[in-house]
């Protein structure tokens, strides 16, 4: 006679009741790590069940920093600087090698009203006024304001109390225009207004600086009335002088109009094809505004 042991009888009972045969790794009470019955879990966290990682203050701070870095990177990339190899990641080495020349010593940064070019026109940031855009070229700066004059033998700034000057050259990004902007500093508004009147009375007295900081030839007589007229403004105790010429720096009166090409007989040029004089006037007005706007509240 075969005698069934209690273990064998229990296996048979489990099979007839629909329970599966225990597999290796399971305990005597069924599947490993399961609670038996409805009683409380007296053994703490069951084996095999992963316990959730508690969010600590340090981990939360790390996530906040990571999200902030990602958001800042996205903002930078969406605001690229012209000339970057990869938009938003800074100027390329090619552009860095083309740093615009600067003639003269920079004024001390301790003076909040000094004419420091990097405060007004950073080299890697284009000037944008309306639809006009321009990039900075060469720079001249100093305390001897007579250096800005085309003819120093005729000095309209004599005894005007000019304290310092800054002259910057600009090239239009979408227009073949070269512009020269000169800023003059005076001790007070009255002196600045008087100097502005003297400069307006002598058109062309302020020299036109080219991109390489050299001085362009004086314009022929009458050229100031054909699109190259300088714009002189007194803003606070500063005076701004802006003028523009065609891309090669020649006066508007000598700019080529197309040799052998008959004069146009159709309608006047539209906004998409402005005349040379219109381009020069747009550039001069835009840069005059950009140069004077920082001084409005000074």
Mean pLDDT across the chain: 73
For 29-170, where are the alpha helices, taking DSSP H only?
57-77, 93-96, 117-120
Q: What is the pLDDT of residue 246?
A: 84
What is the average pLDDT across 107-136?
87
Half-sphere exposure (Cβ direction) of 143: Cα atoms closer than 13 Å: 7
pLDDT-based confidence at residue 260 (cuts at 50, 70, 90): very low
Q: Where are the domains of the chain?
A: 100-252+273-295
Q: What is the pLDDT of residue 114?
A: 86
What is the average pLDDT across 45-52?
52
Q: What is the pLDDT of residue 217?
A: 85
Share of the chain above pLDDT 70, in %: 58
What is the average pLDDT across 225-252?
80
Place of tokens 């054909």: 226
Q: What is the pTM of this model?
A: 0.60
Q: How far apart are CA 294 and CA 235, in angstroms?
A: 9
- Strands 102-103 and 132-142, by their bridges, are parallel
Task: Give the largest CA-CA distance in the chain.
Answer: 138
Least confident of 67-76, 94-103, 124-133: 67-76
DSSP 243: E
What is the average pLDDT across 128-138?
92
Q: What is the pLDDT of residue 223?
A: 52
Is residue 287 predicted with pLDDT exceeding 70?
yes
**Residue 234, SS3 per DSSP:** strand
Q: What is the pLDDT of residue 80?
A: 47
- Tell me the residue length of the chain: 298
Per-residue pLDDT tens over the stretch 243-254: 999 876 655 444
Q: Is the Cβ–Cβ distance between 170 and 137 less than 8 Å?
A: yes
Q: What are the Cα distances from residue 263, in Å, to 18, 266, 283?
A: 103, 9, 25
Least confident of 223-232, 262-271, 289-298: 262-271
Q: Is the Cβ–Cβ distance between 246 and 177 less than 8 Å?
A: yes
b/e string for 70-97 if b means 16 or more Cβ within 10 A? eeeeeeeeeeebeeeeeeeeebeeebee
Is residue 168 predicted with pLDDT exceeding 90?
yes
Element (H, E) at 181: strand 177-185
Is residue 134 predicted with pLDDT exceeding 80?
yes
* φ, ψ for residue 253, nearest 5 deg: -65, -25
Burial class (CB in 10 A: 0-12, 13-18, 19+), 9: exposed
């Amino acid at each position: 006679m075969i005698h069934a042991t209690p273990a064998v009888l229990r296996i048979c009972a489990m099979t007839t009741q629909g329970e599966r045969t225990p597999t290796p790794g399971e305990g005597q009470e069924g599947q490993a790590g399961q609670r038996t019955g409805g009683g409380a879990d007296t053994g703490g966290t069951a084996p095999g069940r992963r316990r959730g990682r508690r969010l600590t203050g340090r981990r939360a701070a790390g996530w906040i920093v990571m999200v902030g870095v990602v958001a800042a990177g996205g903002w930078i990339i969406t605001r690229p600087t012209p000339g970057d190899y990869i938009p938003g990641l800074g100027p390329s080495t090619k552009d860095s090698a083309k740093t615009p020349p600067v003639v003269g010593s920079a004024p001390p940064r301790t003076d909040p009203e000094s004419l420091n070019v990097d405060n007004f026109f950073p080299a890697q940031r284009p000037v944008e006024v309306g639809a006009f855009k321009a990039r900075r070229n060469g720079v001249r700066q100093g305390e001897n304001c007579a250096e800005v004059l085309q003819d120093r033998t005729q000095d309209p700034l004599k005894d005007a109390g000019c304290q310092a000057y800054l002259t910057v050259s600009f090239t239009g990004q979408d227009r073949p225009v070269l512009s020269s902007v000169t800023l003059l500093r005076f001790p007070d508004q009255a002196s600045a207004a008087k100097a502005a009147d003297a400069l307006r009375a002598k058109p062309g007295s302020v020299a036109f600086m080219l991109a390489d900081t050299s001085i362009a030839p004086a314009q022929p007589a009458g050229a100031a009335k054909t699109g190259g007229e300088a714009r002189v403004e007194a803003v606070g105790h500063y005076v701004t002088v802006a003028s523009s010429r065609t891309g090669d720096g020649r006066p508007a009166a000598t700019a080529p109009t197309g040799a052998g090409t008959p004069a146009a007989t159709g309608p006047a040029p539209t906004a998409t094809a402005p005349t040379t004089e219109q381009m020069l006037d747009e550039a001069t007005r835009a840069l005059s505004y950009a140069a004077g706007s920082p001084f409005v509240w000074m």
